[in-house]
Amino acid sequence: MCNEKLCFCGHYTVEAIEPKAGRVVRRWEYDNIITDLFYSGLFSLLNEAIEKPDGDALNITHIALGTGETLPALADTRLGTEYFRKAVSSKTHSGHIFTCKLSMLPSEGNGAVKELGVFVKATDAADSGTLISHCAANFEKNANLKMLITWTLTIA
């Protein structure tokens, strides 16, 4: 009998940064859906053949922005309407918390952002890789701001 319950909780923090002063001028917070593909990837990783393990099965590579306005769902495999993606800038973990960050220049990803996603084993091509996190968002990215997007996955 198992009395333990694990919860994978994802959260995005989006910070708009004034480029010259380097100060945060606006911050948005969003919880997300951890997709079925994350859990499938996790169990596939645990079930890897000893002869040919795929250590990259859950290697987070990209964060993407989109304009889709459909509510995220567990079965999502891509963003509704992706318009920008970039390789993550950093990844760290400590205890039960994993964090990845994406730094965006003023010239990158400008527009109305309605959704965010984290992808594993992706490339710079839209809809590549596996979507493991998807959230509805509502902020504007413009050429006057740098942006820092932080995604945190907590196992509780």
pTM exceeding the 0.85 threshold for the entire prediction: yes
What does the angle CA 30 – CA 34 – CA 53 come to, to the nearest 5 degrees? 135
Give the strand order in the sheet containing 82-87.
33-34, 130-141, 111-120, 60-66, 82-87
pLDDT tens digits for 25-64?
999 999 999 998 888 888 777 776 665 666 667 889 999 9
pLDDT at residue 70, rounded to an integer: 93
pLDDT at residue 67, rounded to an integer: 97
pLDDT tens digits for 57-106?
788 999 999 999 999 999 999 999 999 999 999 999 999 999 999 999 99
pLDDT at residue 46, rounded to an integer: 74
pLDDT at residue 58, rounded to an integer: 82
Q: Which helix (H) or strand (E) holds 44?
A: helix 36-46
At residue 39, the 3 state secondary structure works out as: helix
In whole angstroms, what is the distance from residue 153 CA to residue 112 CA?
25
pLDDT at residue 45, rounded to an integer: 74
Q: Please choose, from the candidates 122, 121, 120, the residue with its C-alpha nearest in 3D space to the C-alpha of residue 133.
A: 120
In whole angstroms, what is the distance from residue 12 CA to residue 28 CA?
8
pLDDT at residue 39, rounded to an integer: 83
Tell which phi-psi region holds residue 40, choosing left (phi > 0), alpha (psi between -120 and 50) or beta: alpha
pLDDT at residue 55, rounded to an integer: 64
Q: How confident is the model at residue 5 (pLDDT cuts 50, 70, 90)?
A: confident
> 61 is written with which tokens?
């590579």
pLDDT at residue 43, rounded to an integer: 78
